[in-house]
Structure 1
């Protein structure tokens, strides 16, 4: 990295071409198209062309050769593009480092997490973290997209999957499992709740029907799974449908844990099956964890251990018919 004392000052800004023209040139050179550059810059192709011609006039060289309706870089244009790429890389690296250092010093961490896990489990527990660490700010980024944590300067992620993501270190936080649930108040249009796995076939099943096949097989139920009604693949919307009394869902344990504890949702008779995936803590391999991030990780793991212990205590009073067979 270039040291401050190695810089040669003064740098006369009057000797530099227009920075705006350089910016437009870089985008046009990257796209090899004035039209595509115009779309990226929210300009017209004519405006891009005028700025490029102005830069060519400033430098006294031709940067693009016009070949029919296309533009291609001249040798001089390629030389300038390489210089621009190097300069932008230096700027990107420096600003990225400054942002990271500012984040670490300020006691600020960002965590990307699935909306379902965020709203149903993590967010309600953050109050306890803030009570113990009032000087640390936690920004939750709820999204189903697997964001590039390093590029976006995101400290941590909580992902649902197999634990393997390129460029990320991962630690298993908790396995996930599935079992049937319904609203404690009942299911709209039906008298009472299902009393056995066989009885579930008479009620609206809210998951996509192929998800029920393994569960009914494990429960020893032989029969045609009804292929009718409205289903929902989104886990968050699925639980909301259960709470409205729309039907029965095969729900993820961690997403309904609190609702079962408060009595809004009830677990129905039948086995528990493995989801074959789990919740993983992830962070960029190329970035050291800040002290604030390490503190958050320790708190998160303790919260998970506490939740597991509380759930174990509560299941001792469950009806034995509920079962507990994992695949």
Structure 2
């Protein structure tokens, strides 16, 4: 580490390598051109090799200079990313909030509503992360977790966002055909969402058991995420379990229709979880979430 040159020399060198001109580098760094030249010579003296071919007009990086330029660019980029992570962890970045939720929740509920948040808070950027697990957890860099279940989580502070209900849904043409042919849920084609990470959402087995419907076979197309399954349903390939928050827009627009008298309440809901001491930005987002109309968009 003692052999590393001063950071100011490296940042000057990176500016020169990026803009390809001492004059442009001086302009971008708001210093004089002689100051740039002196810093570059000091860096060469520290390294012990020529980094810039000054015999060319304009001056160019030597082979050694190109090697160092790549390393400096990557190194400064990693430092910048690390500083962003540190700001997130310490809550010092007051212009951003990071939310973790499932890909279905992000796609069908949260993202369509974000323009309203930006209208109220144009100075805040919302970062949305959709982990592989269907139960997002608070983690370093995560300000808010939106989770589906019964709310019995121990970390952070949790409160209910809205109650959730489930009902089979399908393309209108498919529902009309099934009803015309007298086909019920005991024989209708089903679409499943299953994966090793999907442990907390009810499946067709749970639904049919609660409704008291016996079915010999639960065969049908299977997908590992809700977005792909929803597209298959829109294409008329079968019925899927539709959660109110996720399927609402498609139902409102007529792209999907609910199975008649098919809705059930599993006693589950969507919850907001934050740290015990959320940042002001996170508080602003939670306040907006609590006021968001579940049935809107």
Q: Tell me which interval the TM-score lies in, with the shorter structure as reference length.
A: 0.5 to 0.7
SS of 1:164's equivalent?
coil
Evaluate the alpha carbon distance shift between residue 148 and residue 267 of structure 1 in structure 2; reply closer, same or farther with a 3 A threshold: closer
Give the counterpart of 1:263 among 217, 229, 254.
254
SS in 2 for 1:159: strand
Q: How many residues align?
A: 211
Aligned counterparts of 2:136 and 2:185: Cα–Cα separation in 1: 39
The 1:136/1:270 distance shift into structure 2, 3 A limit, reads same
DSSP 3-state at the match of 1:294: helix
Shift of 1:177: 1.5
Q: For residue 110 of structure 1, give the secondary structure of its aligned residue in structure 2.
A: strand
Does residue 149 in structure 1 map to residue 138 in structure 2? yes
Task: Please tell me whether the aligned partners of residues 136 and 146 of structure 2 are also in contact (alpha carbons under 8 angstroms).
Answer: no
Displacement of 1:212: 3.5
How far does residue 307 in structure 1 lie from its aligned partner after superposition? 2.6
Match for residue 299 of structure 1?
A: 288
Using CA pairs below 8 Å that are at least 6 residues apart, which structure has the higher relative contact order? 2
Kindly report the root-mean-square deviation, in angstroms, between the aligned alpha carbons of the 2 structures: 3.5
Please state whether the residue corresponding to 1:158 is helix, strand or coil.
strand
1:116/1:236 contact within 8 Å kept: yes
Superposed counterparts of 1:135-174, under 5 Å: 135-145=123-133, 149-150=138-139, 152-174=140-162
Render the CA deviation track for 1:49-80: whole Å, top value 9, x for unaligned.
xxxxxxxxxxxxxxxxxxxxxxxxxxxxxxxx
Paired position in structure 2 for 1:203: 188
Tell me the CA shift for residue 227 of structure 1. Answer: 3.2
SS of equivalent residue, structure 2 residue 99: strand
Aligned equivalent of 2:6: none
SS in 2 for 1:307: coil
Cα-to-partner distance string for 1:161-203 (whole Å, 9 max, x where unaligned): 232334321111122221111012x23xx97243699623342
State the distance in 1 between where 2:180 and 2:158 align: 41
Provide the residue aligned with 2:70 in structure 1. none
Distance 1:98 1:216 in 2: 44
**Alpha-carbon distance between aligned partners in 1 of 2:99 and 2:264, rounded to the nearest angstrom:** 29
The alpha-carbon distance between structure 1 residues 246 and 103, as it changes in their structure 2 partners (threshold 3 A), is: same
Deviation (angstroms), 1:208:
7.1
Q: 1:122 aligns with which of 78, 90, 110?
A: 110
Cα distance, 1:111–1:195 mapped onto 2, change above 3 Å: farther
Give me the TM-score of the superposition, normalised by structure 2.
0.60
- CA distance 1:227–1:167, change in 2 (3 Å): closer
Residue 294 of structure 1: CA displacement?
Answer: 1.3
Is the Cα–Cα contact under 8 Å of residues 234 and 256 in structure 2 kept in the other structure?
yes
Report the CA distance between 1:216 and its aligned residue.
4.0
Where does structure 2 lack aligned partners over 5 or more consecutive residues? Answer: 4-81, 195-201
In the aligned structure 1, how far is the partner of 2:182 from the partner of 2:158?
37
Unaligned runs of 5+ in 1: 1-12, 17-91, 312-327
Residue 280 of structure 1 pairs with residue 267 of structure 2: no
TM-aligned CA distance change 1:229 to 1:155, over 3 Å: closer
2:118/2:124 contact within 8 Å kept: yes
Partner of 2:100: 112
Q: CA deviation at 1:214?
A: 5.0
